[in-house]
Chain A
Amino acid sequence: MDLRIKRERLFDEDVYTVHPDDYRALCEQLKKDGFDYPRAISSLDMGYGLRVVLQLTRMSDLAKVEVRTDVSYDVAAVDSVTDLWPGVEWHEREAYDLMGISFRGHPDLRRLLLEEEWDLHPLQKRYDTGGYLIPDWRPADWPDPAPWQEPAPSQEDAAPEGGEGE
């Protein structure tokens, strides 16, 4: 399978940076490889887009792996992996709630910690600690060599322009 992926090793973890469209495929692969214990899903505002960081452990040999994928502000959505690891259910909801990343196929995607009526995702860098929009905040340009490596060059969504920032 051709995954748009970059593999590296940081400290004691294998880190895979993957194209959002291949995120689900990689997760299925990892599930087949025996990574059965979901530690957490973290989310980051990279300035040019949002990053999902999925951390997994294999209980048999305690190997740790980290899957990263970047999405643009405009299309802030990846496929949910709740059916592979039910334990990420609340972590995905939390990432949706605080960071604004949607998870396609999540069974119950709604706000977890904030109120239903809340209309912003406070962990995004465009908001300050008080929850107000920072006036001169602009999204950065998408990094030119994308964080993952392309197996075969395909230009259709390698360099989106980034969101307008409201």
Chain B
Amino acid sequence: MSSTIGLEPVLGRSDEMIVNMGPQHPATHGVLRVVIGLEGERITRAVPHIGYLHRNHEKIEESRTYFQVVPFTDRMDYVSGTQNELPVVLAVEDLAGIEVPERAKMIRTMFFELFRIASHLVWMGTAMLDLGAITPFLYTFWDREIILGIVERTAGARMLPNYYTFGGVRRDLHPHFFKDVAEFLDHLEKRMPDYEHLVLENPIVHARTVGVGVLSKERAVARGVSGPVLRASGVAYDVRKAFPYDAYPEVEFEIPTSDAGDTYARFWVRFQEIYQSVKILRQLLEKTPKTGPFKGRAPARLKISGERYRAVENSRGELGVYVVGDGGDKPYRIKHRGAAFSNLQVIPDLFIGAKFSDAIAILSSLDPVFGEIDR
């Protein structure tokens, strides 16, 4: 962490300036530190250092019961709330053979997609902030606030709701939930053309992002990136379609992909994902019964043996978890496969050769969240 690796000058290169971008830097979305070598404005080397937010979730979770593990996962990717809880919940349900009622699956999926919209709105605001526009940030946070309000009414908390549990969800939906979500979707559909105008159709955004930070299809797959970053490189891999979970087999949606692989394509894919989330939510609002069971039968004291890898498609990509149980009520080992963690590995691929300003745009298009990367 506090290492000097990457800082040592290259022999025979006196024209290279080495700067420490981060860990306290406005555009690193938290605590990323990248040691960057600059030749003028061009980046000659990029050595990322992470771990400034490391709490060793995995060790702590070994000393907690399965029920206590779920709220811990919320703290990983703190902008997409319940999405983090799902892999653990799914893996444990698989191992313990817990049945989940259909309605509970639909409720989970609705929250999942609400948080995807919330996360992409945060991304949109912060990406535009990185590009120098301050106003979209305030607009998107306003809309995200409504989602958090909806979540708070049902789950009781805003960002870290601790809402999913083994066999379903913890509480039934708030009576206003369906009305709130329907109104929010109407509102969002009115706002989206404005956002497209501010971001996707903005000529300055075009100038800054088109052709910048191109990640080829083969490199993206080999680097193990996932989510919008992978789909912007032309791979239609989405865990929701590839290994469906919860209510996703019952809804119709498309996987937006782009072949360009540049920063603009990553922007574009995230926008299309918001539209797809709206589509999924509209279908689920129709299908979900207003009343019914929200939780299946799960033992109060879970004892689990066996091991299971489960993944979900969170806002940043494939969020996986590898749960190993030794027959006790505490996990023997939990390994989180962070989506942003794997995505961030492409920093040297994309940074080297780019301009310094491009690096900021590229980083914002990767959308890292350091709660999850450092865990």
Contacts and interface: CB of A to CB of B under 8 A. Distances in A.
A86 B346 CA distance: 10
A88 B322 contact: no
A115 B59 contact: no
B330 to A, nearest CB: 11
B224 A39 contact: yes
Given A11-B94, A66-B309, A87-B342, A113 B337 contact: no
A159 interface: no
B56 interface: yes
A39 B337 contact: yes
Contact of A114 (B54, B235, B243, B342): B54
A136 interface: no
Contacts of A85: 222, 224
B60 A55 contact: no
A40 B337 contact: yes
Nearest to B337: A40
B222 A115 contact: no
A53 interface: yes
Interface residues of A, number: 37
Nearest to B334: A42
Contacts of A112: 50-51
Contacts of B62: 129
A44 B224 contact: no
B374 interface: yes
B168 interface: no
Contacts of A39: 224, 309, 311, 318, 320, 337
B5 interface: yes
B221 A113 contact: no
Contact of A38 (B224, B307, B322, B333): B224
Contact of B237 (A53, A59, A123): A59
A149 B140 CA distance: 57
7 contacts: A37-B221, A42-B337, A59-B237, A64-B309, A87-B223, A87-B225, A115-B51
Interface of A: 10-13, 36-40, 42-45, 53, 55, 59, 62, 64, 66, 85-91, 98, 110-116, 122-123, 129
Given A87-B345, A115-B51, A123-B58, 9 more contacts: A37-B224, A43-B335, A55-B337, A59-B235, A98-B56, A113-B51, A115-B1, A116-B2, A129-B59
